[in-house]
Amino acid sequence: MQPTSLLVAALLLLRHPCTRNKLTASILLNRAAKDTALSPADREACLSLVDELECDASSPTEPAAKTHRNHGWPFANSINAAAAF
């Protein structure tokens, strides 16, 4: 597979940086870094990102933000309160 395809796939995964996507992106970046088509500087940048992503993925994550009962609707609580009367 072309290194540019691997890099693009890694970027797309990092748009939604969950632990699984970070680990998968690090695998893709590591594979891209092994390709001789990349310059030494590009390979070093890929490997540096791999190290960062693996450290991020292995560190404990923050607790998930509390979800609101209104599902993102700004006036859902007032509508529900009005319906109770």
Measuring CA to CA, which residue among 51, 46, 56 is closest to residue 9?
46
Q: How many CA atoms lie within 13 A of 13 on its CB side?
A: 19
Q: What is the total count of domains within the chain?
A: 1
DSSP 38: S
Residue 33 structural domain: 3-58
DSSP 3-state of 70: coil
Examine residue 68 and state whether it is found in any structural domain, yes or no.
no
For residue 54, pLDDT beyond 80: yes
- Is residue 82 in a domain? no
Residue 38's pLDDT band, with cuts at 50, 70 and 90, is confident
Task: List, for residues 1-11, the tens digit of each pLDDT value.
Answer: 688 888 899 88
Residue 75 lies in a domain: no
What is the CA 22 to chain-centroid distance, rounded?
Answer: 5
